[in-house]
Amino acid sequence: MQDCPYYVRAELLGDKLARNLPDFKIHKIVKTTAEWPEWLCEICEANGWKHEQSPIIWRELVDRGGKGVLIGGSNEFEEYAYGYYGVTIDLDGKSMKIIAYENQTTKIELDEEERERIRNEKFIKVCITNASSPVCFSLVDSLLSGKIFGKEKISLCLLDCDPAQTAELQYIAENIQNMAYGLLYLNVFVTSDCEKAFKGSRIIIFLDEVERKEEEKVHRWTERNAVLFGFYGTTLLKVAKSDTLLLVAGNNYMCLNMSILNEIVSHISSRNIIGVSKVIENQAKSVLAEKLPASSCSIDNVVILGSISNDYLIELDKTLVREFDCAVVGPATFSQPLNDIFHQQSWLKKEYVNEVSSRKHVNEMNLRHPTYHLIGHAITTTLNYWWNGLSSNAIFSATLISNGWYGVPEGIAFSFPVAFYLPLAYSVIENLSISENCREDMDLIIENLVKDRALFVVKDGKLISKVVSVESLPESEETDYSAFMSSRTPSSQRSDVLSFLLEEMVEEQEALERRRTKMSISSMPRGSLDSEHDLELENLDAIMPEEEVEEEISETALNTEDIEIEDNNNNPPAEETEQ
């Protein structure tokens, strides 16, 4: 420890031994007062030692980094030196304190010089959340090989909020370092602390997927997604720079998560938050290429509108096809509108979207594992277009925070057609011709996104959930989410989101009561079926229609009669059994 007088004594004794013994080597590790406890705990745990005071001294038997044997503190080291070499040191307490102060001052100066050196050395810090996901490993080559960032050095940080995943992240980090990428700056940093991970990051890639638990209600699943990204947003608000780029990937509630981040992290521009829509876009190209037939890479300008997590539309108004085998032939750059060469409009309207939606699941069933590389490729392609821009006028799909485009309310995340015309810049293509039916579908998607967003409010940089259980919901509870709705949506079409949840849960309870009632009827003895008082038919009418009740009673009576006949055939009368 830098200001420890006993460290001074041990240091000077070590220097004396090194000067007088040609084969005696000494290596010093200086830690600040703040760093010392954690470092001591780690070194003792790694070697199986027990030690509490500064300094700690050990002997390494072969070379530095080999197996270590603990000597102890300053007193034990002096005994060791005197016993083996007959060397001692004479130093009074006052001199020890003076030198300790000098050590402390020198340590502060050296640390500041190192920080200055790091600040002056150019590198890009990229942080990946939920880095224990297999998708993370599929991103590494593109991030560290120069395909995206050119010759820039990359400082890679792997984050998983679950401390139990730290060991797995260490294995991933070791594998990355074993690849010996020339653009990797220092070592891969592994942590479960969001503040350490986000601090200084230029790009943060969110790979979080909150899986739905078995029999979990949809609104509870929604809440768990929102709470996680609310936590991320609060942390970003503390430590992130205003130029940080946030790239959000995932299949579940991506639009909701982006909207929450945008509202909490107010100092980061909404243009610095992008969601990956290219997974669906690439699948749409693949399905269309099989039908033409053509190569999927020769199809451009396929647009995804909506929420890739739930409902989306595929717009082919500006789709172009290159290198298509037909009567009109041109150079490799020559393209033709899809509508001029493909005439199966009924397939496009009825079957196309369903085939695209099922493509991912079919691939996963055939591969017997999720399509990690498909997701990784979509992420790196989107990041490459965003970071470097494109000279062409090609149209791509990306989920953005709306600025009122296509009637989507401001602050709601939605997948739009975009052109990445310059590095770190994009423009939304606003001249797509949208049919009336497509417009109605878009309005439904927007309304669902608004309902999800209205379940949560942000107050003082923190997320507050409005999701409540049916038992704790007051009758007068209401939620006003009209501020999120577009002016094009009539107020008569809006419904209260909490009433929607209440109706959903009440319907589930009614279904449960119906099942219980049917079970109780079928288990009653035949004699009680004639008792109107026992069955309480006046209460059953409120749960089941009268016709269903009569049918259920008659069916149960027949079943009960069959059982009694079978019993009479197989079992003796009760009196004979007693005899």
Question: Model confidence over 90-125: pLDDT tens digits?
Answer: 888 888 888 888 888 888 888 888 777 766 668 899
CA 420 to CA 392: how far, in whole Å?
9
Residue-level pLDDT at 573: 45
Which amino acid would we find at residue 501? L
Q: What are phi and psi of 287, to 5 degrees?
A: -65, -40
CB 170 within 8 A of CB 212: no
Which amino acid would we find at residue 391? S
**Mean pLDDT value of segment 134-153:** 91
Residue-level pLDDT at 488: 31
Least confident of 107-121, 195-209, 297-311, 372-386: 107-121
Percent helix, strand and coil across the chain, each to the nearest 5: 50, 15, 35
Residue 465 burial (10 A CB sphere; 0-12, 13-18, 19+): middle
Strand bridging mode 413-422 / 396-401: antiparallel
Q: Which residues pair with 60 in a beta bridge?
A: 68
**Mean pLDDT value of segment 333-346:** 87
Token pair, residue 86, equals: 């007959």
In angstroms, the Cα distances linking 447 to 112, 241, 251, 326, 362 are: 54, 33, 19, 43, 30
Structure confidence at residue 539 as a pLDDT band (50, 70, 90) = very low
Mean pLDDT rounded to a whole number for the chain = 80
Could you please state the CATH topology (level 3) that the domain comprising 121-274 is classified under. Answer: Rossmann fold (3.40.50)
28-32 long-range contacts, CB within 8 A, separation 24+? 30/1, 30/2, 30/103, 30/107, 31/1, 31/2, 32/1, 32/2, 32/107, 32/111
What is the domain partition of the chain in residue ranges? Answer: 5-115, 121-274, 277-469
Token pair, residue 192, equals: 């479960």
Terminal-to-terminal C-alpha distance of the chain: 95
**CATH code matching the domain that covers 277-469, chosen among 3.90.110.10, 3.60.15.10, 3.40.720.10, 3.40.640.10:** 3.90.110.10
Q: What are phi and psi of 128, to 5 degrees?
A: -120, 120
Q: Is the dihedral of CA 117, 123, 124, 130 positive or negative?
A: negative
Cβ density class 199-234: b for 16+ within 10 Å, e for less: bbbbbbbbbbbbeeeeeebebebbbbbbbbbbebbb
In angstroms, the Cα distances linking 140 to 80, 123, 145, 181, 417 are: 49, 16, 8, 10, 27
β-sheet with 320-322: strand ranges across: 299-300, 320-322, 335-337
Per DSSP, the residues of 129-157 read: TTTTSHHHHHHHHHHHSSTTTTT-EEEEE
Residue-level pLDDT at 268: 95
Q: Which residues pair with 378 in a beta bridge?
A: none
**Mean pLDDT value of segment 224-249:** 93
CB 6 within 8 A of CB 97: no
Which amino acid would we find at residue 215? E
Does the pLDDT value for residue 291 go beyond 60?
A: yes
CB 398 within 8 A of CB 306: no
Structure confidence at residue 184 as a pLDDT band (50, 70, 90) = very high
More confident of the two residues 48 and 573: 48
- Percent of the chain past pLDDT 70, that is, above it, reads 78
- Percent of the chain past pLDDT 90, that is, above it, reads 37
Residue-level pLDDT at 476: 35
Structure confidence at residue 499 as a pLDDT band (50, 70, 90) = very low
Which amino acid would we find at residue 131? A
Cβ density class 445-457: b for 16+ within 10 Å, e for less: bbbebbbbbbbbe
Token pair, residue 239, equals: 């430590």
- Please give the model's pTM, rounded to 2 decimal places: 0.66
Would you say the CATH fold of 277-469 matches that of 121-274? no
Name the nearest CA neighbour of 220 among 479, 503, 448, 467: 467
CB 155 within 8 A of CB 126: yes
Q: How many Cβ atoms are within 10 Å of 336's Cβ, its own excluded?
A: 16
CA 535 to CA 417: how far, in whole Å?
62
Helices (runs of H) and strands (runs of E) counted in the chain: 20, 18
Residue-level pLDDT at 69: 87
Per DSSP, the residues of 391-446 read: SS---EEEEEE-SSGGGPPTT-EEEEEEEEEETTEEEE-------HHHHHHHHHHH
**Mean pLDDT value of segment 29-51:** 87
**Mean pLDDT value of segment 366-386:** 90
User: Residues 417-464: pLDDT tens digits?
Assistant: 999 988 999 999 988 888 888 889 999 999 999 998 998 988 887 888
Does the pLDDT value for residue 480 go beyond 50?
A: no
Residue-level pLDDT at 503: 52
